[in-house]
Amino acid sequence: MEKSFNTAGPMIPGDHYYIPFRDRVDWEEVQHLIAHKRYFLLHAPRQTGKTTALLEMMKVLDESGDYQVLYANIEGAQAARNDVEAGIDTVCSVLARAAKDYLHKEEVAVWFVEKGQQVPVHDRLLSLLAFLVRSCDKPVVLFLDEADALIGDTLISLLRQIRSGYNQRPEAFPQSIVLCGLRDIRDYRIHTGDGEIITGGSAFNIKAKSLRMGNFSAGECRDLFLQHTSATGQQFDEEIFSELWEDTAGQPWLVNALGHEMTWEERAARDRSRAIMLEDYFAARERLIQSRATHLDQLTDKLREPRVHRVIAPLLSGEESELQFPHDDLQYVVDLGLVVRKPQLKIANRIYREIIPRELVAVTQDTMLQESAWYIGADRRLDMSALLAAFQQFFRENADSWIEHFDYKEAGPQLLLQAFLQRILNGGGRLNREYALGRRRTDLVVEWPLDEERGFFGLVQKVVLELKILRGKREVLIVEGLKQTADYADGCGAKEAHLIIFNRDPGIPWEEKISFELVGCDGRQIGVWGI
């Protein structure tokens, strides 16, 4: 059977192309922590391979003969929320079943049914783990997956029972416990049943370390794809790899999903003698973005959380807002994998930069009465002057009412223009976006194929749009913006460039806001639009 790119569940080495866990976590550090009887965390964003790594670690540790290793996914206890009885009972039931299945310790399951369920709930997990350890002839290592899925008092009880048993390790409690989830424990903000808020760190202060599992490196992305080439002989255009890295920054699910789209969802590519070219990659990328796959849907669902909003909104608007969100909010959004801090604070990868604004204005875009045919000339070029003039009028008539319905009103003007452009470009062109905090601008690049048959393999019209919100003197902003626009257009190889300035002062009449002029800068003519 031919291997495949996996997009659902843990990797199975015999079935899937994959990068071994030793290349993705500090295995020497993990071994050291376990040998020295430490309790620690392994965290990473959703669908980065945490469960795969835990299962591989379990196998390697088990084969070493030094430990008896148990893995349990306790996410099911999330449904209990603050019902400690139901939540801890679920955790214990999962552990008893895992002990039976993995360690062949049926007596643990029997003990839990006959005696364990009668133990007071705040000692029940502790007692179960103590019985498990005493039934084993080697030190026990326990991996608890999805630990941060638990909620409220259930999570508090879990952490405190583990903390209570810590001093009895390894004779009467696990030698090492690894909690695995999306977030570091300092970000477990737990609302108790009586409204008290505590942090996970205060309930689990025995933690020795928090290890974060990273994305693939650029080399690992390439290696993963070349596993397919080695297995099938199917070649990838070399130009794909640089685009793959820019689009994903190594996010494992995205990398695998793009591989799957190219090699399987594109039916013509199932012929392994057919090389996969750059345009095949771009088509797969667009299908993936439009697919609303579970991973992407979960990502956009996070945008509704106030803590995420406080970080993402200034990024979308380009405004300097470092004091507007607490450090803990930023760390939370970093742990979710939505943003990165280095080399500068920005949305984590190019696909997320596409997904986020599209999701925020999806309904707006779908209800706009705009068609690309209205702006295409006889030479198939987009008439950007006509398009932007139409947007000026559209914004004048609709901005206040439409932006009022946006969740991200701070970036409303930028998002509304992107919705307008995306509506026109859908099915024909591409809109690439660039955001970064503190630059006070949003960079857009419109790509429009001029040869209908050859598409992006032929000549492509490329247009740079620089978006700014007017703050201070307009003349100063124009001088600064023209230089930035010209530099960005040069870097993108775009022959056409426009600077768009939004004036959000309600006291200024529209007749004074709406304007257009062509201004020379660095040997090129740039359209300056006032809106």
Range list of β-strands (E), 119-221 = 140-145, 176-181, 189-191, 197-199, 207-212
Please say whether the beta carbons of 444 and 468 come within 8 A.
Answer: no
* Nearest partner of 206 among 145, 173, 165, judged by Cα: 165
pLDDT band at 188 (very low <50, low <70, confident <90, very high): low
In the predicted structure, residue 261 carries a pLDDT above the cut 90: yes
CA distance 531 to 396: 8
The percent of residues in the chain predicted with pLDDT above 90, rounded, is 54
Amino acid at 105: K
Burial of 104 (0-12, 13-18, 19+ CB in 10 A): exposed
- For residue 453, the model assigns a pLDDT of 79
Tell which CATH classification among 3.40.50.1360, 3.40.50.150, 3.40.50.300, 3.40.50.10540 matches the domain 21-212: 3.40.50.300
In the predicted structure, residue 78 carries a pLDDT above the cut 70: yes
Please say whether the beta carbons of 258 and 243 come within 8 A.
Answer: no
Please say whether the beta carbons of 77 and 146 come within 8 A.
Answer: no
At 407-422, the pLDDT tens digits run 787 788 888 899 899 8
CA distance 41 to 230: 36
Under the phi-then-psi rule, with left for phi > 0, alpha for psi from -120 to 50, and beta for the rest, what region is 500? beta
In the predicted structure, residue 195 carries a pLDDT above the cut 50: no
72, containing H or E segment: strand 68-73
Of 56-65, 91-100, 284-293, 388-397, the one with minimum mean pLDDT is 284-293
Of 61-75, 101-115, 253-267, 346-360, the one with minimum mean pLDDT is 346-360
CA distance 356 to 362: 10
Highest mean pLDDT among 273-277, 399-403, 521-525: 273-277
Amino acid at 475: E
Quick one: average pLDDT of 138-148?
94
At 315-342, the pLDDT tens digits run 887 665 444 677 888 888 988 899 998 8
At 22-47, the pLDDT tens digits run 888 899 999 999 999 999 999 888 88
